[in-house]
Chain A
């Protein structure tokens, strides 16, 4: 029963009137997503489960002619995390990806007991089940051997041994899926486990983003014990009886030997720091030339070509197309290599097995902040660039942890903000410029700690501190093809979804800058101060009077900084009609203009006003691309709430800094 040759089967479409849906269920690190990527290739899309921030990948498995759904990894259908809730709901036919016709449960041979436990829970949901047996090579190295045929005979359902990393067994699994789908009514069910409280993942639970998904009583514990009894019975038949003393020899593996070195504090911490530093370099030094190249190609070369092609039309048309829409497209595409590099790096860390070790090493420090050990990755990357840092939040296994970390990432001071600090520090604190810039980074770290603590005590009270228990997968060689596929799908998702928001917003900004509010100017040929944009900046400026920079040049620069912090300095130079400094630490005429302006608006305390401006730049909305990615990952509600909170916090802190600073 373990191997099914392709047979004469009815097509699923003919049987159901639609393409059958097959869900993959398994614990984290079982190889589920690897199987999904191998089966669907790039024919997949990543969406959030309805009403949640939990990602679901769906795609077409051509070989089996079914729609394949990659459900979040789950140890149990009695959920303790929003991710597990989505899986439990989907198996039980509630919400999620819609009706599921067949569940393929992946059994990790190295963790066969708990894998069978999960299978037992799925089996009681009364849905056709197939079993894919993975990690046999790793298990064999640890002295654990499971025969797929013996297991299939015991369970009463097809069991196909596969290796998602190499693709071995996938054709047999596809054929078995196709056979099962062709005769759903006659599909065998798993023999054995009695229907329990866990049956059908009947735990109602709150929404998948909701707080308390843990619900435990004696009945559930008893159910679990009963299910484990069934698991032990199965194992006794497929593995042979447990020795009288219950002890099976533990083989010392290559991973054990590596861990013996890598987990020692005096080795593990430096290695973790080195990995973090490499990632930091990746999102700053390595990505910058790629981003510049894309920008040059799209906005320079291609923009010039488009402008030439549109030369017969009114100026505002080519201006809108090139400086509005195409500039937006250029921004999105220039971020694509950065995102791609980060997705590859994170996937390499995850796939190799190192990420779990990094979480263990960092756990004590991150727990002091109330965060999971894995949050160290996005928070460190955030100091390079917030956008890929959000991408790195996907390594967190808990949706609420992802959300909390994603809300803290914008408070990490990215390198784009550094240009503003350096310029203002050089102008207003020439003798202590380094200290001023360092102070911004110190404030950034304090804000992450402070706001993180505040959120944990308010909106995220449900994130109880749980015992740290993390499965350490065996070290393995990363599979480059699977990583490339996964990276391509995620970058594509960023470009199409976050990109739409970026292009639309930049187009609106162009329109605001092109529309004159005073006479004597033509459309798209108007100085900033006479445009709708300048008019809005002038209207906004008084809001910053308590912070000491009530001036439209400053507010216009902050509005532009909403799009990207890299252009704040350029925006100031443009509005003051001076040359943008090549080196922000040598601001030249711009420095003179800024000093005169801030001296006027601050009532003689320009240093305090400059410091307040720097603090505002640190805290308020990071950039449009980060916002768009937040909206894609966490939804519009959380994103708008974050924007509002950041603006209020930035204003309050800026006012505080100025009011205290001018007294000193």
Chain B
């Protein structure tokens, strides 16, 4: 599964980042590296996604989201899940 398919509020762990090495390092420096747990806080459809990485928020375009493989972790955070339904 990749980030573009994640539901809002679902905690996911990054398992792979399929971009060129320099960009992979930069994404890692921003906290988006294998092993990191992130949550989608906004789904802006074809525009992209907003992720919570710790207390930070990052906007990513859809294409980049498709290059980040993730796996589900734990249960969805209730507040965000509620927001997603709204």
A431 contacts the other chain (CB 8 A): no
Task: State how many angstroms separate the Cβ of A373 from the closest Cβ of chain B.
Answer: 9
Query: Are B21 and A216 touching (Cβ within 8 A)?
Result: yes
Task: State how many angstroms separate the Cβ of A240 from the closest Cβ of chain B.
Answer: 14
Query: Are B47 and A360 touching (Cβ within 8 A)?
Result: yes
Query: Are A252 and B80 touching (Cβ within 8 A)?
Result: yes
Query: Are A217 and B80 touching (Cβ within 8 A)?
Result: no
Query: Are A466 and B23 touching (Cβ within 8 A)?
Result: yes
Cα of A228 to Cα of B55 in the assembled complex, Å: 17
* Residue from B31, B41, B73 within 8 A of A113 (CB atoms): B31
Cα of A620 to Cα of B25 in the assembled complex, Å: 43
* Residue from B37, B48, B57 within 8 A of A256 (CB atoms): B57
* Residue from B28, B47, B55, B59 within 8 A of A224 (CB atoms): B28
Q: Which residue of B lies closest to A242 (CB)?
A: B37
Query: Are B47 and A110 touching (Cβ within 8 A)?
Result: no
Query: Are A110 and B30 touching (Cβ within 8 A)?
Result: no
- With A111-B54, A246-B73 known as contacts, the answer to whether A216 contacts B44 (CB < 8 A) is no
Query: Are A246 and B37 touching (Cβ within 8 A)?
Result: yes
* Residue from A247, A248, A356, A467 within 8 A of B23 (CB atoms): A467
Q: Which residues of B contact A246 (CB under 8 A)?
A: 13, 35, 37, 73
B32 contacts the other chain (CB 8 A): yes
Q: Which residues of B contact A114 (CB under 8 A)?
A: 29-31, 56
Query: Are B30 and A75 touching (Cβ within 8 A)?
Result: yes
What is the count of residue pairs linking A and B with beta-carbon distances less than 8 angstroms? 146
Query: Are A248 and B54 touching (Cβ within 8 A)?
Result: yes
Cα of A265 to Cα of B62 in the assembled complex, Å: 14
Q: Which residue of B lies closest to A472 (CB)?
A: B57
Cα of A167 to Cα of B21 in the assembled complex, Å: 40
Cα of A589 to Cα of B50 in the assembled complex, Å: 61
- With A252-B79, A468-B60 known as contacts, the answer to whether A139 contacts B55 (CB < 8 A) is yes
Task: State how many angstroms separate the Cβ of A412 from the closest Cβ of chain B.
Answer: 25
Cα of A481 to Cα of B15 in the assembled complex, Å: 46
* Contact digits for B3-44, partner A, Cβ 8 Å, 1 yes 0 no: 000000001010000011111111111111101010101101
Task: Give the number of chain B interface residues (Cβ < 8 Å).
Answer: 46
Query: Are A256 and B58 touching (Cβ within 8 A)?
Result: no
A540 contacts the other chain (CB 8 A): no
- With A216-B21, A256-B42 known as contacts, the answer to whether A110 contacts B55 (CB < 8 A) is yes
Q: Which residue of A lies closest to B30 (CB)?
A: A114
Task: State how many angstroms separate the Cβ of A83 from the closest Cβ of chain B.
Answer: 14
- With A260-B42, A467-B67, A468-B64 known as contacts, the answer to whether A144 contacts B54 (CB < 8 A) is yes
A residues 234-283 with Cβ under 8 Å of B? Answer: 245-252, 255-257, 259-260, 263-265, 268
A4 contacts the other chain (CB 8 A): no
Query: Are B22 and A250 touching (Cβ within 8 A)?
Result: no
Query: Are A252 and B28 touching (Cβ within 8 A)?
Result: no
Task: State how many angstroms separate the Cβ of B59 from the closest Cβ of chain A.
Answer: 4
A76 contacts the other chain (CB 8 A): yes
Query: Are A263 and B44 touching (Cβ within 8 A)?
Result: yes
A78 contacts the other chain (CB 8 A): yes
Classify chain A's interface size: 35 or more
Task: State how many angstroms separate the Cβ of B17 from the closest Cβ of chain A.
Answer: 10
Query: Are A263 and B58 touching (Cβ within 8 A)?
Result: no
- With A75-B29, A467-B23 known as contacts, the answer to whether A356 contacts B73 (CB < 8 A) is no
- With A250-B77, A467-B23 known as contacts, the answer to whether A224 contacts B29 (CB < 8 A) is yes
Q: Which residue of A lies closest to B65 (CB)?
A: A467
Task: State how many angstroms separate the Cβ of A400 from the closest Cβ of chain B.
Answer: 15
- With A260-B42, A469-B27 known as contacts, the answer to whether A215 contacts B22 (CB < 8 A) is yes
Q: Which residue of B lies closest to A249 (CB)?
A: B77
Query: Are A245 and B74 touching (Cβ within 8 A)?
Result: yes
Task: State how many angstroms separate the Cβ of A529 from the closest Cβ of chain B.
Answer: 58
A residues 354-370 with Cβ under 8 Å of B? Answer: 356-357, 360-361, 363-364, 367
Query: Are A265 and B25 touching (Cβ within 8 A)?
Result: no
Task: State how many angstroms separate the Cβ of A330 from the closest Cβ of chain B.
Answer: 45
* Residue from B44, B54, B64 within 8 A of A469 (CB atoms): B64
Interface-centre pick from B61, B74, B80 (highest chain A CB count, 10 A): B61
* Residue from B13, B19, B35, B42 within 8 A of A467 (CB atoms): B19
- With A216-B25, A364-B46, A467-B23 known as contacts, the answer to whether A250 contacts B59 (CB < 8 A) is no
Q: Which residues of A contact B37 (CB under 8 A)?
A: 245-248
- With A114-B31, A252-B80, A256-B42 known as contacts, the answer to whether A217 contacts B21 (CB < 8 A) is yes
Task: State how many angstroms separate the Cβ of A262 from the closest Cβ of chain B.
Answer: 10
Task: State how many angstroms separate the Cβ of A255 from the closest Cβ of chain B.
Answer: 7
Cα of A103 to Cα of B55 in the assembled complex, Å: 26
- With A114-B30, A250-B41, A471-B30 known as contacts, the answer to whether A363 contacts B61 (CB < 8 A) is yes
B69 contacts the other chain (CB 8 A): no
Q: Which residues of A contact B31 (CB under 8 A)?
A: 111, 113-114
Q: Which residues of B contact A216 (CB under 8 A)?
A: 20-22, 24-25
Task: State how many angstroms separate the Cβ of B73 from the closest Cβ of chain A.
Answer: 6
Cα of A247 to Cα of B11 in the assembled complex, Å: 7
Task: State how many angstroms separate the Cβ of A135 from the closest Cβ of chain B.
Answer: 9
- Pairs A-B, 5 closest by C-beta atoms: A467-B64, A468-B61, A142-B55, A214-B22, A216-B22
Contacts from B to A (Cβ < 8 Å): 11, 13, 19-33, 35, 37, 39, 41-42, 44-48, 50, 52, 54-61, 63-64, 67, 73-74, 77, 79-80, 83
**Cβ contacts A to B, 16 pairs, < 8 Å:** A76-B29, A80-B22, A110-B55, A117-B29, A138-B55, A215-B22, A225-B28, A246-B73, A250-B11, A251-B79, A259-B50, A259-B57, A260-B83, A467-B64, A469-B58, A470-B59
Known pairs A112-B54, A472-B58. 19 more at Cβ < 8 A? A76-B26, A110-B54, A114-B56, A142-B55, A143-B55, A221-B21, A249-B77, A252-B80, A256-B83, A259-B41, A259-B57, A264-B44, A265-B47, A357-B59, A364-B61, A469-B27, A469-B58, A469-B60, A471-B57
